[in-house]
Structure 1
Amino acid sequence: MEISVCSFSFHRLLAAGKQDMFQYIQDSKKLGCTHLEPWNAHLANIDQGQDVLHAGSNPQQSHHLTAMDDDYLDRVKAAADEAGLPFGCIAVDGAHIYEQEIEARERNRAKAYRWISIAERLGASHIRIDSGGPEAPDDQAFEVIAKGYEDVIQRAHDSGVKVVVENHWGPTRFPDQLVKLLEAVPKLKLLLDSWNWAPGKQAEGWLKCAKYAEATHIKTFHFTDEGQELTQNIPAFIKLLKSNGFHGIWGVESVPADGDEIEGARRTIELIQRFG
């Protein structure tokens, strides 16, 4: 079974200066992960911990997540190689496709190109780039999003990287909007998050979108003493993905209410292994 912990699971440790990218690699190794799937804040030049917390809570306002230089990235790749952990999906905030102003779109596109080059440098298999845009885009906004994805998909393909969209924010929190986008851009793949749906849309999202999933974020918040997740039915989510032929990396994105991020990741991994 292939398992990763998206490094967003450790965003509070990162903000507090208690973890960096190199410690994330070591923590992933200790937790028994088979792959690394960093959130791009772990690969960015962060001046203040508050910047991490802001980015984590406001992915649509994460333009300050500027990547470190190539020398740093090469050291990260060397550390990952030494740990025996290849890179799966890099989750990128701050490079989304849609902005109302053309200049803002162009700035985001340049950021997307840069993160694609980073994914290639690290040997990552996938990169998550958000759609951005209003929750119910009109035809013009939808066309901008679809054409934007076609552009970054071609750039990523030339680098040997696949682009995934996540049900994250904006229109992709609504199952019908997400399916419409995936059908319009067949080469676009899905990073399916168990939790990130508009209110009342989770069950519909699971059922309509499981067949498209190529990567996952399994969210957890509260555990019982017996190791069950109280917020949602994770065993049912795992069963649904398996019945739809999912064979990718089981990605953890734990957000423990008690603040113990290492323990939250560990318990989520144990839950996945029990039912996966």
Structure 2
Amino acid sequence: MLTDRRQFLAAPAALAAATSVSAREPEGPKPRPIRIGVSTYSFWQFKNDKLRDIETCIDLAGEMGFDAVEVLHRQMTDESAAAMQKIKRRAFLNGMGLCGFSIHQGFVFKSKEERQKNVAHTIKCLEMCYAMGIPTMRVNTGRWGTIKSFDELMKNRGIEPNLPDVGDDEGFKWVIDALTECLKSAEKCGVVMGLENHWGLGRTPEGVLKIVDAVDSPWLRVTMDTGNFLEDPYDKLEKLAPKAVLVQAKTYFGGGLWYSLDLDNARIARMLRKHKYAGFVSLEFEGKEDPRTGVPKSLEVLRKAFAT
């Protein structure tokens, strides 16, 4: 009888506990870790000739444990259809995707003919992305070119004078008009252009967003480079984060080729999570250390920072 009485008294408490548990909101799925890719530039750096071959870079990336590869266009020595399919096949066999294509072009030329040559080059590269199955392509505004040496430009922290008798407003119009011309090809190829915070008119977040907002198309967004704001980067990066389709993350083991930044990657990761960024982070290793050791060290840093 005593046992029955205890069971009777315990029943309401058990029922209340069960009701409380069932009334809780189900936990949502945990965000998956951001995937880490690597730019082939990280191996070549325009100077390591033995690491220029794109397929060699893909093999190294696979061995090191990256999730994807971003191809630097200038690094390619063969643009034939067969060569592009080999690149796609090599990534597949390594269990990786091709997460981006980085090209060099610019639209801040007084000559309309020169601007059109760069539009044609951009469209050609969009078609190369389509052939390789690459979903996004880095584009630039281009720079004025009034400082000829890139080393000198870096010493001047990316700042150079405008072309004679050309104001920023005219330059922005050239860039906006040129990228607008590329939209039909981008849509046809299914490739999102990402305007990078680079040099020239893209040196500030305001400059990048002025162009992206003016073009106003889902086929032009932002490639966010963590190492191209040399002062107070975090607030500037946050302005770009909502429109980012690819993040390029810089590291500098062995000291930077041109400069070094002490970047708080965990802070950048939290900021990207806040803006619901779920795309790739692509390593651009810009250190003097041998890429064979500097790149895997960088992967370890990024894995830790972007794991949560």
Q: For the superposition of Structure 1 and Structure 2, which TM-score range results when normalised by the shorter chain?
A: 0.7 to 0.9
TM-superposition CA deviations, 1:199-229 (whole Å, max 9, x none): 43523412322222221111111379xxxx9
Contact 2:40 2:58 in 1 (8 A): no
Supply the distance in 2 between the matched residues of 1:166 and 1:129 (Cα, whole angstroms): 6
* Aligned equivalent of 1:32: 65
From 84, 106, 109, the equivalent of 1:99 is 109
TM-superposition CA deviations, 1:83-102 (whole Å, max 9, x none): 23221110001x22332211
Q: Give the 3-state SS of the residue equivalent to 1:103 in structure 2.
A: helix
Percent identical among aligned pairs is 20
Contact 1:175 1:204 in 2 (8 A): no
Residues 71 and 270 (structure 1), Cα distance of their counterparts in 2 relative to 1, 3 Å cut:
same
- Give 1:133 shift: 4.5
TM-superposition CA deviations, 1:60-107 (whole Å, max 9, x none): xxxxxxx622222222222223223221110001x2233221111122
Residues 24 and 13 (structure 1), Cα distance of their counterparts in 2 relative to 1, 3 Å cut:
farther
* Aligned equivalent of 1:79: 90
* Aligned equivalent of 2:210: 180
Supply the distance in 2 between the matched residues of 1:106 and 1:84 (Cα, whole angstroms): 38
Contact 2:227 2:261 in 1 (8 A): no
Supply the distance in 1 between the matched residues of 2:250 and 2:103 (Cα, whole angstroms): 18
Supply the distance in 2 between the matched residues of 1:22 and 1:217 (Cα, whole angstroms): 21
Supply the distance in 2 between the matched residues of 1:25 and 1:75 (Cα, whole angstroms): 11
Supply the distance in 2 between the matched residues of 1:17 and 1:263 (Cα, whole angstroms): 15
Residues 41 and 182 (structure 1), Cα distance of their counterparts in 2 relative to 1, 3 Å cut:
same
Larger Cα-atom Rg: 2
Contact 2:68 2:96 in 1 (8 A): yes
Supply the distance in 1 between the matched residues of 2:50 and 2:305 (Cα, whole angstroms): 34
- Give 1:108 shift: 1.3
* Aligned equivalent of 2:157: none
Residue identity opposite 2:59 in structure 1: Q
Supply the distance in 2 between the matched residues of 1:237 and 1:163 (Cα, whole angstroms): 22
TM-score normalised by the chain length of structure 1: 0.82
Once the two structures are overlaid, the 10-residue window that deviates more, 248-257 or 261-270, is 261-270
Contact 2:42 2:291 in 1 (8 A): yes
Counting only pairs closer than 5 Å after superposition, residues 177-216 of structure 1 correspond to structure 2 as: 177-187=207-217, 188-197=220-229, 199-200=230-231, 202-216=233-247
Residue identity opposite 2:75 in structure 1: H
Once the two structures are overlaid, the 10-residue window that deviates more, 206-215 or 130-139, is 130-139
From 119, 122, 127, the equivalent of 2:129 is 119
Q: Give the 3-state SS of the residue equivalent to 2:119 in structure 1.
A: helix
Residue identity opposite 1:85 in structure 2: M
* Aligned equivalent of 2:79: 68
- Give 1:128 shift: 0.9
Contact 2:45 2:286 in 1 (8 A): no
Report how many aligned residue pairs link the two structures.
247
* Aligned equivalent of 2:281: 250
Q: Give the 3-state SS of the residue equivalent to 1:100 in structure 2.
A: coil
Once the two structures are overlaid, the 10-residue window that deviates more, 107-116 or 201-210, is 201-210
Supply the distance in 2 between the matched residues of 1:98 and 1:155 (Cα, whole angstroms): 21
Residues 171 and 17 (structure 1), Cα distance of their counterparts in 2 relative to 1, 3 Å cut:
same
* Aligned equivalent of 2:296: 266
**Runs of 5+ unmatched residues, structure 1:** 46-66
* Aligned equivalent of 1:238: 269
Residue identity opposite 1:150 in structure 2: T
Cα RMSD after superposing both structures? 2.3
Residue identity opposite 1:87 in structure 2: L
